Structure 1
């Protein structure tokens, strides 16, 4: 049985600011988006907060209008900013806090480069996992349309008879999903979108759905698909605290499953931090879940570098410091690992550290910034 996890970074539409040929050319927009999103959530806006919001809105090209080059200001109820008709008069933040208005800034999207979309499909089809956890999927209909489109292009049968996604908490509609082949039935689902932290905030940025999958042999495996809080826009204390709370919550779900007699559990997805990070310790150090990349049979991850590390990273350069995607197994499953690795052919490399698809001739054609991680289990 093959299990895989892949952050596809959206299949049909991606943020316009990320699709620029010169990756990182608009880092100021990305940083402004992340900062203003945090400011908006404050209960009360200070004078300094309001002044900073105006600066950030200017960076986002939203000071004069709600429709900018790369972003939109959504003012659903109430008012955030007053823009006098007399352009000589200054713009003003009129909301006094989060309770005065409902809205947000969202990044504009545009169609994914066609080559990138095709290569995303090739990665998934070539790995051909029996069960795959998908991170950053737009919706269940998009997933099914995508695999139907790719199946026709490659003249193959759609690989995943069962595709499931439960809407999560991300306002952008970035969710986690699961796909299983014909004889791997999804027999049960449970969402954790409403699980709360001590401060009353929802713990999961998206969700941590529990999918119980029955294998052809009749064995049942619980899959917990995750996408932890991103470092996007910075790795400040609040970002770290959020990821730690998510790690603690997943660990708690895992312990409950153990108490219920579930021996076969898989935690997989993009945890957005490295194995040595303190924030992931509740999950990686304080449970008996084991990272498949630590197994002696996890060897299929072609990587050429003179850096002294193994090269088991799943993001960007592929070095160990870029390990943020995981497949964690309960002891019963970890003991049955046959082999595993990282599939990189759809990921861009300017230095030739791994082989890529012939069509991948520019960074904009990359299937994803992430590299697919997989493991085979004798079950």
Structure 2
């Protein structure tokens, strides 16, 4: 059985605010690169293509906008969807698209969507948790056109996120979600929701009848108010530990997965990592991932996954003692991430610039032998 978690950062559409935030974080680097290319007297075709990509990223042009939209007014808000050809024979994410999207969302680059599918297909997980999904319709269309109906069961729940990002669980034939529970209505002492998005519980039966429990969550970063963000993360971590301890009776089979946005050594995660028996799969001796190229292959960055894998750890797959002992193989797939300068690693050949990136997050997986 393979379990995987992937922060897909939306499938077809993403809120403009989130795109703007990403652009602001990288704007200075892009301007510097664009100016360097502008000052060159002779440029290669590859450099001209890079300038076109940078002009789009910097807002000089915006190829994300499509002139073919249908609009609808619903409950006081405007929504849109892309028009599709009626008699098209080529399966794309636009074929038979029925999902409506708020007008403040931007369509994700077509190549990026295809790359999301490639990463998921490579993992071939039996149980897949997808974070930051815009809606159930997107999940169904994505499975149909980009995953070749690989998953027979798909569930989606909305969360507390103001940008409409939810969590989806997909399982292959023989793996069935028996029950599902949301913690969106867990409140702190001041009456505020504990979770930025949610903590969701799934009890999933395997083909041999074994029951596995998966807890999924996603913490959000607030770079404007880091102190407030840290407090929120600590509160969420404590609540996850409480729920986990309640479920972990008689040496249960439990996985806690998701994006926590802080490194494993952080005291903010001490309630989960340290005060419970949960073990991070990246610390397992089987954990494999393509190493960085050049000097970075011999370097260890504090807070990274391991030596030679120098990206900040934000995504976790943590296992109870019994599940950790059942690990046969494990690893991380990051070839869908665009690197800026250093470190560098193997990317999908279809990624030519940032807009083609599948996600800013890697997919983390583990193969388990249970039953």
Q: Same fold (TM over 0.5)?
A: yes
Q: What is the CA–CA distance in structure 2 between the aligned matches of 1:25 and 1:226, rounded to whole Å?
A: 24
Match of 2:96 in 1: none
Q: CA deviation at 1:108?
A: 3.0
Match of 2:13 in 1: 13
Report the number of matched residues: 294
2:360 counterpart of 1:369? yes
Q: CA deviation at 1:238?
A: 1.2
Q: Are the equivalent residues in 1 in contact too, given 2:251–2:321 (CA < 8 A)?
A: no
1:190-238 alpha-carbon deviations (Å, 9 max, x no partner)? 111101112211101111111000001111011101101x224335221
Equivalent runs, 1:324-363 vs 2, <5 Å: 324-351=314-341, 353-363=344-354
Q: Are the equivalent residues in 2 in contact too, given 1:293–1:312 (CA < 8 A)?
A: no
Q: Are the equivalent residues in 2 in contact too, given 1:16–1:107 (CA < 8 A)?
A: no
Match of 2:259 in 1: 270
Match of 1:161 in 2: 152
In structure 2, do the counterparts of structure 1 residues 286 and 27 end up closer, same or farther at CA, with 3 Å as the change threshold?
farther
Q: CA deviation at 1:280?
A: 0.9
Q: What is the CA–CA distance in structure 1 between the aligned matches of 2:302 and 2:227, rounded to whole Å?
A: 28
Where 2:364 maps in the other structure, the secondary structure is: strand
Equivalent runs, 1:277-292 vs 2, <5 Å: 277-292=266-281
In structure 2, do the counterparts of structure 1 residues 262 and 197 end up closer, same or farther at CA, with 3 Å as the change threshold?
farther
2:136 counterpart of 1:140? yes
Match of 1:2 in 2: 2
Give the ranges of 4+ consecutive aligned residues of structure 1 lying more than 6 Å apart after TM superposition.
Answer: 25-28
Q: What is the CA–CA distance in structure 2 between the aligned matches of 1:273 and 1:132, rounded to whole Å?
A: 22
In structure 2, do the counterparts of structure 1 residues 366 and 313 end up closer, same or farther at CA, with 3 Å as the change threshold?
farther
Q: Are the equivalent residues in 2 in contact too, given 1:147–1:159 (CA < 8 A)?
A: yes
Q: Are the equivalent residues in 1 in contact too, given 2:116–2:336 (CA < 8 A)?
A: yes
Q: What is the CA–CA distance in structure 2 between the aligned matches of 1:221 and 1:303, rounded to whole Å?
A: 34
Where 1:238 maps in the other structure, the secondary structure is: helix
Q: CA deviation at 1:168?
A: 1.2
In structure 2, do the counterparts of structure 1 residues 142 and 116 end up closer, same or farther at CA, with 3 Å as the change threshold?
same
Task: Give structure 1 stretches of 5+ with no counterpart.
Answer: 29-75, 78-105, 152-156
Residue 255 of structure 1: which of 245, 263, 266 is its match?
A: 245
Residue 122 of structure 1: which of 118, 122, 126 is its match?
A: 118
Q: Are the equivalent residues in 1 in contact too, given 2:265–2:303 (CA < 8 A)?
A: no
Match of 1:85 in 2: none
1:287-344 alpha-carbon deviations (Å, 9 max, x no partner)? 1000000011112343331562179947xx9525x10100000000000111111101
Q: Are the equivalent residues in 1 in contact too, given 2:299–2:310 (CA < 8 A)?
A: no
Q: CA deviation at 1:17?
A: 5.5
2:197 counterpart of 1:206? yes
Where 2:248 maps in the other structure, the secondary structure is: helix
TM-score, length-scaled by structure 2? 0.73
Where 1:10 maps in the other structure, the secondary structure is: coil
Q: What is the CA–CA distance in structure 2 between the aligned matches of 1:223 and 1:262, rounded to whole Å?
A: 14
Where 1:217 maps in the other structure, the secondary structure is: coil
TM-score, length-scaled by structure 1? 0.72
In structure 2, do the counterparts of structure 1 residues 310 and 295 end up closer, same or farther at CA, with 3 Å as the change threshold?
farther
Q: CA deviation at 1:186?
A: 0.4
In structure 2, do the counterparts of structure 1 residues 23 and 318 end up closer, same or farther at CA, with 3 Å as the change threshold?
farther
Q: CA RMSD in A?
A: 2.7
Where 1:340 maps in the other structure, the secondary structure is: strand
